[in-house]
Copies of this chain bind each other. A is one copy, B any other.
Amino acid sequence: MIKVSIITIGDELLIGQVIDTNSAFIAKEMNKAGFLISRRVAVGDDYLAIRSALDEEKKYADIILITGGLGPTNDDITKSLLCEYFGGKMIVNQAVYAHLQNIFENILNKPFTNRNKKQAEVPDVCKVIENKKGTAPGMFFEETINGVNKIFVSMPGVPFEMKTMMVDDVIPMLQQKFLTTPISHRTLLCAGVGESTVADMLLGFENDLPNNVKLAYLPSYGMLRLRLTGIDNDAEKNNLILDNLFSSLQGLVNEFIVSNEDLPMENVLGNLLKQNNETVCTAESCTGGFMAHLFTSIQGASSFYDGSVVSYSYKAKEDLLQVQKSTLKSQGAVSEMVVREMAAGALKNIGSTYTIAVSGIMGPSGGLPDKPLGTVWICVGNNQKLIVQKFYFRFDRQVNIRLTAMNAFIMLRKFIIEK
């Protein structure tokens, strides 16, 4: 099996100023292409730390993918370090120079300064990879250590630049060099059940799994993903075995299944709506637009999603959703009556097939004796019927917001399927 390490470079990763989303993207794409990531290492913009990470990872891996540290400023030292590491010297690459000149003079309409021109310099011992989305070029190095060929690829840290380079160039280049081992996954999305309960239900199933198939439990925000991973040189056999096991697995936890694809919950719901030619709208108090954001992050969301009223203030609830002032006064904003009126108002004003309305106390403050922190009312339904459920979430603001959205989506999916 070919082994891959990822090295991410940047002080911002070690002081927590930036969350590393690049590694997850790289891992996912490499996996699809048949490469398994065995280690990921992050180091700062520090000469010795980067060098020792290179020395270390080439012991473990055949392919070392590096991101970050390629910017035009002095804190970025990756390019010159790699040049030295592989014993090269810096030369101007004419194609990169022309690309940079075009970006600055024709696209950005900014002066093409000496600092920018320096980005066209690359080590003479690498294959240059074009950066279609930005300025810093990628670099592909090969080294033979004790007769074994090792590949090092350096990519920019800016996510959309790295992503394009990875998919368009790096993966095809790696596939030319290596014979990959087929890896396949099957993922089941469940709701309404805990990890331990499912593990007990699957005791026999897990014990009988062949050696090259692994079962993983991934609990997340009221849901549980069950993932089967199979690795086999025979891709067809691997898929056949996984399909059989996946179908047994589905039989065993049938009552809890929300989807047999590895999709976010908003996509599961979106697909169901599209398939039925129906739409949904939202009326959001405590989730503050997060449900709308999840739906509209999906390409083509307008085919099933009409919009949202984020009614943070009382006035917005009254004017945009016709919640009665008297209801707000007698019941408070976090109440069954208010979410029912919000839902009815959204259906009337936005005119979708279904709606979701939520109101709650997300924290960290704002709890009341009869409505503790984390109290949430969720209403889902259509013009014929509205159903309401009360929840108590006990986490921090961000987690409570996400849990509210997920539980609302699960409720609406159930409503649509059972109606």
Q: Which residues of A contact B (CB under 8 A)?
A: 11-21, 23-29, 31, 36-45, 49, 53, 56, 71-75, 108, 110, 113, 115-116, 133, 158-160, 163, 185, 194-197, 199-200, 206, 214-220, 225, 227, 229, 262, 279, 281-282, 284, 287-293, 295-297, 299-302, 305-313, 315-316, 319-320, 349-351, 363-365, 395-399, 401
Contact indicator A315/B310 (Cβ below 8 Å): no
Q: From known contacts A197-B110, A309-B309, infer whether A289 and B299 are also in contact, taking CB-CB under 8 Å.
A: no
Contact indicator B316/A306 (Cβ below 8 Å): yes
Q: From known contacts A24-B16, A45-B216, A115-B200, infer whether A302 and B297 are also in contact, taking CB-CB under 8 Å.
A: no
Copies per assembly: 2
Q: Quick one: closest B residue to A110, CB to CB?
A: B194
Contact indicator A28/B15 (Cβ below 8 Å): yes
Contact indicator B349/A319 (Cβ below 8 Å): yes
Contact indicator A309/B307 (Cβ below 8 Å): yes
Q: How far is the CB of A406 from chain B (nearest CB, A)?
A: 15
Report the Cα distance A160→B293, complex, angstroms: 23
Chain A at the B interface: mostly helix, strand, loop or mixed?
mixed
**Which of A42, A53, A299 is the most central at the interface, judged by chain B CB atoms within 10 Å of its CB?**
A42
Residues of B with C-beta under 8 A to A363: 299
Contact indicator B350/A316 (Cβ below 8 Å): yes
Contact indicator B49/A43 (Cβ below 8 Å): no
Report the Cα distance A244→B74, complex, angstroms: 21
CB within 8 A of A297: which of B42, B159, B300, B397?
A: B397
Contact indicator A39/B45 (Cβ below 8 Å): no
**Which of A215, A290, A291 is the most central at the interface, judged by chain B CB atoms within 10 Å of its CB?**
A290
Q: Quick one: closest B residue to A194, CB to CB?
A: B110
Contact indicator A72/B307 (Cβ below 8 Å): no
Contact indicator A313/B21 (Cβ below 8 Å): no
Q: How far is the CB of A410 from chain B (nearest CB, A)?
A: 18
Beyond A287-B296, A310-B310, 19 additional contacts (C-beta under 8 Å) are A14-B38, A15-B37, A16-B26, A38-B49, A160-B396, A284-B289, A288-B292, A288-B301, A289-B290, A289-B293, A289-B310, A290-B293, A292-B292, A292-B310, A307-B310, A309-B309, A309-B320, A315-B350, A320-B350
